[in-house]
Amino acid sequence: MSTEFSDLIMQRIQDPFSARVLYKAVATKLNKPRVLGVLGGNDFPSERLKMWAETADQIFAADGGANLLRMVGITPLLTLGDLDSIEPESAASQLELIHIADQDSSDCDKLLAYVSGRGIEAITLICVEGDLVDHLLGSLFSATKSDLEIRLALRRGTGHILRGPVQTEYSIPKGSRLSLLPISDCSEVSLEGTEWQLDQAEMSTTGLSSLSNKATGRVKVSMSTGTAVLIASHPDLETPHWE
C-alpha cells in the first residue's frame, strides 16, 4: 500500500463507534433491520447487487466489497478490514473507514465481529462466492463461527447457516433444488418437506450429507448439535429474498 494511499485511508477513518453509523433509525418488521454485508467476490451480477443494496436498511462492506458497491453507485455506512483490496477511488468516497490490521482474522471475520458487537442480530452476506475457492470456504467458516443469524445471497439462490440446537422452517418454492451440508459433526438431524427426508440422522463432513435434494413443500429442519448450511436455488433471482 503506497504512503499516499495510506494517508488517504487514515484521513477517512472516523470514530468506529459513531452513533450515525451504528444506530440508524429504521422501522422494520420485528425490529430486525435488513442488514447487508458485502464481501469481495466479484462474480455476483451487478444489477442484482444493486437491488439487494437498495432494499437494505444498513449496508456494511468488507474491504474490496466497497469497490463492488461503488460500481453500482452505492456507498455503505462503513467499510472495514485490512484495506489491502480497496481502490483509492472507493476509499475516497467512504463515509467511514476502519483499518484493522490483524492478519489472524479474515475481513469477513472482522465484519461479522464488528456488526455483532453493535447489537445487530442478523445479516445477509453477499458477493460471497467469487472465483477463489479458498476465499469462499474461508467466508463460510467465518459465518459458522459468528453468533449472528446469517443468510447468504448466492448467484443461484440463498443459503442459511444453521447451528444446533435449532428447529426452523423455510418457504422454498416447490421443486427447488436444495442441499443440507454439515460443516461439523451434526446430531439428530431431521429434514422434512423434501423429496429425500432425514429423521434423527447423524451427519458429518466425512459421512452423510443431503446434496441436490428437492423441495416438495415448506422445508423444516431440526438439529440437536453441530453446524450446517442449507442452500436452496430460487426460480426468481431478480427479487431479493430477505425472508
Q: Is residue 240 part of a domain?
A: no
Residue ending a domain, among 155, 173, 205, is 155
Task: Specify the pairing of strand 58-62 against strand 78-81.
Answer: parallel
For residue 22, what is the enclosing H or E element? helix 19-22
Owning domain of residue 169: 156-235
User: Are 38 and 63 found together in one domain?
Assistant: yes
pTM: 0.86
> In which band, very low, low, confident or very high, does the pLDDT at 14 lie, cut at 50, 70 and 90?
very low
Q: Is residue 201 part of a domain?
A: yes
| pLDDT one-digit tens code per residue, 125-168 | 999 998 889 989 999 999 999 999 999 999 999 999 999 999 99
Distances in Å between the Cα of 97 and the Cα atoms of 34, 37, 70 are 21, 15, 14
Q: Is residue 8 part of a domain?
A: yes
CATH number of the domain within which 141 lies:
3.40.50.10240
User: Could you check whether the bond before residue 76 is cis, i.e. omega within 30 degrees of 0?
Assistant: no
| pLDDT one-digit tens code per residue, 79-136 | 999 999 999 999 999 999 999 999 999 999 999 999 999 999 999 999 999 888 998 9
User: Are 55 and 122 found together in one domain?
Assistant: yes
Distance CA 93, CA 238 (A): 28
Q: What is the pLDDT of residue 2?
A: 54
Domain count of the fold of the chain: 2
User: Are 105 and 124 found together in one domain?
Assistant: yes
Cα dihedral angle (189, 192, 194, 198), rounded to 10 degrees? 30
> In which band, very low, low, confident or very high, does the pLDDT at 3 lie, cut at 50, 70 and 90?
low
